[in-house]
Structure 1
């Protein structure tokens, strides 16, 4: 791990990832792997086999076709008594056709085929077109001694003890891998070793992650999800350039191979398996402004709120970080009454200014708090191996040691929820659920689960509790603003990227983490505008604001001020203008939020997800698509210059209206006030006039900006339903079709280079008069655009 690199200062983190033992001279030189298998039972949805390893140990193998395009592979020791945590949901299984032949068995559904060779044992997976997707690798050996250089389908024993199960597969030379949680390394995980172990990263500079997910997607159109809460190791063509391997500590290997016609389908099917994202309330898609990690007071909070409104910065949420509570007792969930003498009165004034309020919390309580002693006496904390309350220095000396809430104890959860309920009834709207990664591997929980298995699961149970009480008291979906997560954590919108340094490289790594999360179906991801650690320069703050305000969710936060007026007039102007742009695009953003809740497809989309057939997109990780229509290219340096890749087709510069052709890289010069932003040809962008804050009412006066060359369509999702709009150019005619919830609307046809001026307009087949002042009408604007209005 990077923090233990030679000659670098030692960094202490309480929960280092567990490591597997190294083989000693007396241990078997090779792992045990399945060399042959015999069918035990074939059934409607799969098959069970008895495998024989290289030293004649019997193992159980089960293949189950759990859903369309998804097959589950489970390898266990015959004597396994494992009762491990599972994250996959039960889906309607699909029937499988089984054909036996001279060397094995073929299992087929409409979308997936698995070929089983029985002696020697081998599995290969094919898609609906019989294209090879994935093949087990048993063959990689050293040249003379013929020792394995991979870990095939089987298990390993060290000092007579079974320590892990594993499998290895051939990696194609041009294959790329994406996902595995919020990893801050290159988006393409080829050549990397990844371990799914949640950690307080202390930065965004390595594969360490607050949010791990044991799922990845291959450019060859398959995904693999390992259903385990343990520290699963993924060696993605790092140790051997011909293969990748999966290693799970414990008593089994349980994974799902997920296929589909494209990468989007694979992400959606993975979400079907573990959870779709929830749809957060509309206001949460607005701007969140934080106090920052610094001393705070009611007077300061109200001053910030008034200043935001005076500066005409659209904003919906004020976040109060740690110091709403007394230092040394975090997180006892009691107001610091010296600094906040009248919380109810302050909250009422913030409501009058149309702000929602978020409070910072964590699942630990400092030993100086009376609530620590109360919870410890009642057994509400995790225990150490001696059976005592586990007291840990989670803050590295900055804050007194703490106890860790036992999220497996129903009584502890009920107590914790009541503490939160008091604040929700007072007027708080949402909680920032910080931490949740520091669970000791030797902790003992009420439920009996071992600390090593609880470690990654903890964040999900912690966020579940907070989301549940929030939904109970507010009536909206169980929104949290979480730092730690794991497989299935998309059910907790939202997550943010943790404590990034205030540097351009950290900003770039933050985006890479978001892209990796996106491939795991986490749609509502965000990050700290400006970075967290120390103080950003005015230019970095400005560039990060542009990136942040066109991210799925937006919050300005750090360990010093992140208020835009503290970074100079240019930064204030840019923040305001990009916040207004975000609020102008809220119908577009909310539509993709609804799509995310239905499909798991993220708002922030890696280029390869939108253009998987274009090899130039396969490793791009410094630009992204925001929805399907907008290409966003943040600046990660002070030069104002960067390279942008435009995929095939026409693209329109959002700021100038210039038309650019795709399938090429371009070099862009962008002044500080401008971030490169491009609109896909034929897009219809729904917009509104930006307001100071968001309501939960349906959008009104929606205007679709049409970047139309031939034809385009858009399905506007809103609280009142779906409105479907399509528009087509036919010579000098513009034909519009509108159906669905909204009976009133407008379309602005932008004048684009190479297009013919429009002279006639129809809406739903009826000719519309030009220049009319009442009823459906169209008019030519001063800038050459055509504005069509209907009702």
Structure 2
């Protein structure tokens, strides 16, 4: 195939971009400025698309005629002895689209697109990929699939989308299965193939990769800003065997002073799958744990009120399948026959059909047999939504203000993939109300699923989805599925770090994982407690933090206290730090909602001009100010932890020691403290944190219990003045603005906020030679920590930081050191 075009072309411009189609050959190009701003210097070229028809392969070639459109061109192209009609347009800012709109009688069985690519081009994205971050040289199959073991190329969340280091993104706009050969078959090209008669794709331009993601999510979808509590720490377990176990778990978390904001009811919690009725027989039971008996709950309402009074919102697990029969989970009260709501769904044609006009599709899945709801049928979507609305309404509780608010604040939307092992959940023959067949819905079904469930609570709640496709990123959030508790690249901690970054490059921002690994198999042979500690540290620096695993009656490894005292203290510390970082995290969550940029930011996303960032897969930025490099190998007993990592451009400070490191180099980080890992702060950074760590991020009005400490207005600002960049700033999600001007010797800090609040500044640098002033008035130095803590305002210097505290009355204030 001829990769490079020749001859004349038709073109049209959209701002600094130019779309081209070559008249003689049908090559398609997008040209735009490079990173230096040189106009039309960066050109992405696609060979003429190819189709397979019963008679063989045909290239879509010579342009026979063209007609101007409002946003581009309509072209008639030769296709063997026939012609096709295609549109080449700019439907969105920075997005070029090619689409065949009329096959003129041709019936393709396969469509293929090929582009020139050399060894210097690297590719990221494709959904949530566990096997590799940079997919250059690999073949990627775009098919949602539940694979609990070593993932390989299998993914719960996939997207026919990638981001290229050449400054563009590519989106194959089809929900049918496709395959991306990213220079695996030939060293000079990538090839996209789909066995579905649809040819439409978008090329999303940058040239900055951050602009690529912003433009892509601008049309594919961005997450709304989820409620604050969802960014707290969640309690979860594969099964709550009784109400006593619910009471035990919550009581123990509070006794251990671990801040938690969410409680997940995973399966089983219903009478039958999925009838959305709490199994009260299950939760009425008490239980004995660690030698202590914990009572069950007389009613579901009592249980939900207990969780609310402990400062917790509830997330209810579900799948899109309503069962005809269910496997026993060993708890009383289960209906193992047909779910109570099944017949209503079947009689009203609310389920996916096995074939057009056929009976409801019934599939085997890991909880029995059931029928998937057809979310493309508006009546079916409403039917399921109404049941969830009723469940949410039944959980309403009285707030401190005398109003009401539901305890249920989210749904864990499990499943939605095409299959699992030998089980096929979405066969090609399946028929949907909107006319689509299983071929398209193997990837597209989960989006309809998430859209329906996401509409129940909207921005007042959260999803926790396992499956995903293009569009799912607009329904926050998601998690990385089933992983093993080990350091393995196949399905352990390192693979999950890769998955989080691949998901980020695919537009998924509100993302989490099962801290410690979900599965009760293939435990780390070196030290399960050490693995749990390292996974916890990673969990602190992901948007959603929850521990979740399968239950083994012989141990307590579904709880942080099941791994010994050091691991428990490590979990307590990082759970508290995760909450303390809430103002920082929530600010970047808002940015994701506004711009589509992910919270987890791979180094290549922020530093695409540095080729040394291209292969980095276990180090990332959390927002712009923090650089995170989780420990991905076990540390031998009695030896310090070492970790080699690359620092990108800039100056960086070790979070634990404040040691300075220049960027654009690989360093060897070492520490003898297992509660530390490579964590760096960019010089010039301002990191807003909560001044006081609450027990929950649920608000006081909802919790309605003064015994549970909720979030107050107090803020602490970590400031790392930079001599290289003497001015820096940070604007919080609620509008508070902070700035730092001047170098590390004598910085000037400003705070602008309409909210009265206590404030503490923690500023790295030498002790102020002339004291500290606030709006020109000297503040008293407090030499002792106890005196500083007791004072309402003042300053002190300790361990390389100057601490400044005062009560901010609102408005503008200036601090000079």
Structure 2 CA distance, aligned partners of 1:374 and 1:606? 48
Q: Which secondary structure does the structure 1 equivalent of 2:383 belong to?
A: helix
Q: Structure 2 vs 1, CA of residues 576 and 787 (structure 1 numbering), >3 Å: closer, same or farther?
A: same
Report the counterpart of residue 642 of structure 2 in structure 1: 641
The answer to whether the aligner puts 1:60 opposite 2:80 as a matched pair is no
Shift of 1:686: 0.7
Report the counterpart of residue 211 of structure 1 in structure 2: 157
Q: Which secondary structure does the structure 2 equivalent of 1:339 belong to?
A: helix
Report the counterpart of residue 348 of structure 1 in structure 2: 305
Shift of 1:191: 1.1
Structure 1 CA distance, aligned partners of 2:145 and 2:626? 33
Moved more, 352-361 or 554-563: 554-563
The answer on whether the counterparts of 2:180 and 2:193 sit within 8 Å (CA) in structure 1 is yes
The root-mean-square deviation of aligned C-alpha atoms, in Å, is: 2.5
Structure 1 CA distance, aligned partners of 2:155 and 2:769? 53
Structure 2 CA distance, aligned partners of 1:198 and 1:469? 24
* 2:65 corresponds to which of 35, 39, 42: 39
Report the counterpart of residue 316 of structure 2 in structure 1: 359
Q: Structure 2 vs 1, CA of residues 775 and 48 (structure 1 numbering), >3 Å: closer, same or farther?
A: farther
Shift of 1:330: 2.0
Report the counterpart of residue 673 of structure 1 in structure 2: 675
The answer to whether the aligner puts 1:383 opposite 2:367 as a matched pair is no
Structure 2 CA distance, aligned partners of 1:778 and 1:67? 53
Q: Which secondary structure does the structure 2 equivalent of 1:180 belong to?
A: strand
Report the counterpart of residue 497 of structure 1 in structure 2: 480
* 2:740 corresponds to which of 692, 714, 727: 727
Report the counterpart of residue 455 of structure 1 in structure 2: 442
The answer to whether the aligner puts 1:430 opposite 2:456 as a matched pair is no
Moved more, 599-608 or 442-451: 442-451
The answer to whether the aligner puts 1:308 opposite 2:253 as a matched pair is yes
Q: Which secondary structure does the structure 2 equivalent of 1:323 belong to?
A: coil
Report the counterpart of residue 21 of structure 2 in structure 1: none
Moved more, 241-250 or 279-288: 241-250
Structure 1 CA distance, aligned partners of 2:257 and 2:657? 25
For 1:225-624, what aligned pairs fall within 5 Å after superposition?
A: 225-290=171-236, 292-294=237-239, 296-326=241-271, 329-341=272-284, 342-367=299-324, 368-369=337-338, 370-385=340-355, 387-395=358-366, 399-427=367-395, 428-437=408-417, 438-471=425-458, 476-505=459-488, 506-534=492-520, 536=523, 537-560=528-551, 561-624=557-620
Offset from partner CA, 1:217-256 (integer Å, 9 cap, x none): 1001011112111112211111111001222332231111
Q: Which secondary structure does the structure 2 equivalent of 1:609 belong to?
A: helix
Q: TM-score, normalised by structure 2?
A: 0.78
Moved more, 610-619 or 281-290: 610-619
Q: Structure 2 vs 1, CA of residues 699 and 235 (structure 1 numbering), >3 Å: closer, same or farther?
A: farther
Q: Which secondary structure does the structure 1 equivalent of 2:442 belong to?
A: helix
Q: Structure 2 vs 1, CA of residues 511 and 782 (structure 1 numbering), >3 Å: closer, same or farther?
A: closer
Q: Structure 2 vs 1, CA of residues 731 and 299 (structure 1 numbering), >3 Å: closer, same or farther?
A: closer
Structure 1 CA distance, aligned partners of 2:477 and 2:182? 28
Q: Which runs of 5+ in 1 are unaligned?
A: 1-21, 81-156
The answer to whether the aligner puts 1:759 opposite 2:759 as a matched pair is no
The answer on whether the counterparts of 1:198 and 1:455 sit within 8 Å (CA) in structure 2 is yes
Structure 1 CA distance, aligned partners of 2:487 and 2:316? 29
Q: Structure 2 vs 1, CA of residues 759 and 333 (structure 1 numbering), >3 Å: closer, same or farther?
A: same
Shift of 1:460: 1.5
Structure 2 CA distance, aligned partners of 1:319 and 1:249? 40
Shift of 1:742: 3.8
Report the counterpart of residue 739 of structure 1 in structure 2: 752
The answer on whether the counterparts of 1:281 and 1:696 sit within 8 Å (CA) in structure 2 is no
Report the counterpart of residue 11 of structure 2 in structure 1: none
Q: TM-score, normalised by structure 1?
A: 0.81
Report the counterpart of residue 193 of structure 1 in structure 2: 139
Offset from partner CA, 1:653-699 (integer Å, 9 cap, x none): 11122222222112223443222211111111111121111144886
The answer on whether the counterparts of 1:732 and 1:759 sit within 8 Å (CA) in structure 2 is no
Shift of 1:432: 0.5
Report the counterpart of residue 122 of structure 2 in structure 1: 176
The answer to whether the aligner puts 1:717 opposite 2:732 as a matched pair is yes
Q: Which secondary structure does the structure 2 equivalent of 1:527 belong to?
A: strand
Shift of 1:543: 1.2
Structure 2 CA distance, aligned partners of 1:162 and 1:548? 46
Offset from partner CA, 1:622-677 (integer Å, 9 cap, x none): 11111111111111221233211112322111112222222211222344322221
Q: Structure 2 vs 1, CA of residues 699 and 276 (structure 1 numbering), >3 Å: closer, same or farther?
A: farther
Report the counterpart of residue 329 of structure 2 in structure 1: none
Q: Structure 2 vs 1, CA of residues 204 and 551 (structure 1 numbering), >3 Å: closer, same or farther?
A: farther
Offset from partner CA, 1:580-619 (integer Å, 9 cap, x none): 1111111111111111111111111111112221111111
The answer to whether the aligner puts 1:779 opposite 2:790 as a matched pair is no
Structure 1 CA distance, aligned partners of 2:448 and 2:120? 39
Offset from partner CA, 1:256-307 (integer Å, 9 cap, x none): 11112311011000011111111111000000110x2235211110111111
* 1:693 corresponds to which of 682, 693, 696: 696
Report the counterpart of residue 168 of structure 2 in structure 1: 222
Q: Structure 2 vs 1, CA of residues 628 and 344 (structure 1 numbering), >3 Å: closer, same or farther?
A: same
Structure 2 CA distance, aligned partners of 1:673 and 1:742? 35
The answer on whether the counterparts of 1:735 and 1:762 sit within 8 Å (CA) in structure 2 is no
The answer on whether the counterparts of 1:608 and 1:618 sit within 8 Å (CA) in structure 2 is yes
Structure 1 CA distance, aligned partners of 2:241 and 2:480? 23
Structure 2 CA distance, aligned partners of 1:715 and 1:699? 20
Report the counterpart of residue 294 of structure 2 in structure 1: none
Q: Structure 2 vs 1, CA of residues 635 and 775 (structure 1 numbering), >3 Å: closer, same or farther?
A: closer
Report the counterpart of residue 91 of structure 1 in structure 2: none
* 2:75 corresponds to which of 40, 49, 54: 49
Report the counterpart of residue 632 of structure 1 in structure 2: 628
Report the counterpart of residue 43 of structure 2 in structure 1: none
Report the counterpart of residue 95 of structure 1 in structure 2: none
Q: Structure 2 vs 1, CA of residues 672 and 782 (structure 1 numbering), >3 Å: closer, same or farther?
A: closer
Q: Which runs of 5+ in 2 are unaligned?
A: 1-50, 285-298, 325-336, 396-407, 418-424, 552-556, 636-640, 701-710, 783-787, 809-817
Offset from partner CA, 1:540-580 (integer Å, 9 cap, x none): 11211111121111111111242101111111110000011
The answer on whether the counterparts of 1:686 and 1:716 sit within 8 Å (CA) in structure 2 is no
For 1:110-149, what aligned pairs fall within 5 Å after superposition?
A: none
Moved more, 56-65 or 545-554: 56-65
Q: Structure 2 vs 1, CA of residues 77 and 440 (structure 1 numbering), >3 Å: closer, same or farther?
A: same
Q: Structure 2 vs 1, CA of residues 731 and 652 (structure 1 numbering), >3 Å: closer, same or farther?
A: closer
Structure 1 CA distance, aligned partners of 2:457 and 2:219? 25
Q: Structure 2 vs 1, CA of residues 741 and 219 (structure 1 numbering), >3 Å: closer, same or farther?
A: farther
Shift of 1:761: 4.8
Shift of 1:447: 2.6
Q: Which secondary structure does the structure 2 equivalent of 1:335 belong to?
A: coil
The answer on whether the counterparts of 1:76 and 1:252 sit within 8 Å (CA) in structure 2 is no
